[in-house]
Amino acid sequence: MAEFWSDAAKSAVVLKEKARLERMVRGFEALQGDFEDAETMIELAKELEDEDSMTEGVKMLHDMAVPVRQFEIQQMLSGDSDPADAILEINSGAGGTDASDWAEILKRMYLQWASSMGFKAKVVDEAAHEEAGIKSCTIEIAGEYAYGYLRAEIGVHRLVRISPFDSNSRRHTAFASVAAYPQIDDNIEVEIIESDLRIDTYRASGAGGQHVNTTDSAVRITHGPTKIVVQCQNERSQHKNKATAMKMLRAKLYQHEMDKRQAEADEVNANKKAIEWGSQIRSYVMHPYRLVKDLRTGVEVGNTDRVLDGDLMGFMEAWLVQTSTSEIER
């Protein structure tokens, strides 16, 4: 026991997992208690022929539907990395300025989703487009099962709308890709050889005024063997930006190794497709009708504004159910 407490990093990981499992058990026990209460109410109603009590018992059962569904979904998040925090990347693709604007819309959508889940989200890197929107951005999202849920979003997202950048108001199609990586715990060994790294510093971009950094505080790290590139510029300190970039690199190298081991089965490979026609996982149509459709699960939502405001759980849950079913069949 003394050895356990002597390693603060490893003990923190174990205690975090212990707390997660305890919450899971408490959640099951609470559902079991609610079901038994409803069952008792219905049995008494039958014996007493009390219609009001029967109505109350049935209502108690109906009220359990949402928490039971949430508990079932959590059980599907059974991957080793599913409970982890996530690093989310968004990159504009085919579609010019519309694609860059679309990437920024997606950024807002995921920030809204994270907020609705009670997660903490922070943009750690962003490259603005010359005309509008962003070329790319990286977001850290901290919350239980953040990565497990965001695995459902990995791939190419397609937008169809009347372009606000077209003076003739024609319909345009734009694409952006979404990738997600787990924030790995410090107890997972990821070998990084210093000589394999190229570390560049540069002046962070900003909106102007007091937020412009006048020193070369932004950091870009290139890993030679894998060609993986990470960068961070949101902190004023070069040291902090480098620390964040190294954390992102560790996560990407870990995921890179997982991809190599399970290339055929791993959905992460979807983000390596071209960001254009034929590779999208979801379409967001604003004209001539309004519909968001997931091409993997067939889930459709007509309220596009609600989806773009971060209401993504219906899509995520359907994908998790489909994925879990496929794994069971295999």
Q: In total, how many domains does the chain have?
A: 2
Are 33 and 94 part of one and the same domain?
A: no
Neighbours of 60 (CB within 10 A): 17
Q: Note the helical H segments in 49-141.
A: 51-63, 65-76, 97-116
pLDDT at position 216: 77
Are 182 and 249 part of one and the same domain?
A: yes
pLDDT at position 265: 41
**C-alpha–C-alpha distance, residues 253 and 8, integer Å:** 24
Q: In Å, how far are 127, 132, 137 from 164, measured between CA atoms?
A: 21, 11, 22
pLDDT at position 210: 43
Give residue 67's domain range. Answer: 2-76
Give the residue from 23, 50, 76 where a domain finishes: 76
Are 10 and 117 part of one and the same domain?
A: no
* Structure confidence by residue, pLDDT tens digits, 146-205: 999 999 999 999 999 999 998 888 999 999 999 999 987 655 667 889 999 999 998 877
Q: What's 200's domain CATH number?
A: 3.30.70.1660
Q: Which residue has the higher pLDDT, 59 or 8?
A: 59
pLDDT at position 174: 95
Are 120 and 68 part of one and the same domain?
A: no
Are 236 and 271 part of one and the same domain?
A: yes
pLDDT(9) > 80: no
Are 96 and 66 part of one and the same domain?
A: no
Instruction: Name beta bridge partners: 161.
Output: 172
Are 32 and 150 part of one and the same domain?
A: no
Annotate 178-244 with DSSP letters as a single string: EEEEE---TTS-----GGGEEEEEEPPP-SSGGG---S--EEEEEETTTTEEEEE-SSS-HHHHHHH
Give the residue from 21, 50, 76 where a domain finishes: 76
Are 57 and 92 part of one and the same domain?
A: no
Query: How far from each other are the two terminal CA atoms of the chain, in whole angstroms?
Result: 41
**C-alpha–C-alpha distance, residues 299 and 315, integer Å:** 7
Percent of the chain with pLDDT over 70: 84
Are 194 and 279 part of one and the same domain?
A: yes
* Structure confidence by residue, pLDDT tens digits, 42-87: 998 898 888 988 999 999 988 888 788 778 877 788 777 888 899 9
Are 142 and 270 part of one and the same domain?
A: yes
Phi, psi of 9 (to 5 degrees): -65, -50
Are 197 and 300 part of one and the same domain?
A: yes
pLDDT at position 209: 40
**C-alpha–C-alpha distance, residues 115 and 134, integer Å:** 21
Across the chain, what does the average pLDDT equal?
85
pLDDT at position 266: 46
Give the residue from 18, 48, 76 where a domain finishes: 76
* Structure confidence by residue, pLDDT tens digits, 286-300: 999 999 999 999 999
Q: Which amino acid is at 183?
A: Q
pLDDT at position 275: 63
pLDDT at position 330: 47
Are 58 and 88 part of one and the same domain?
A: no
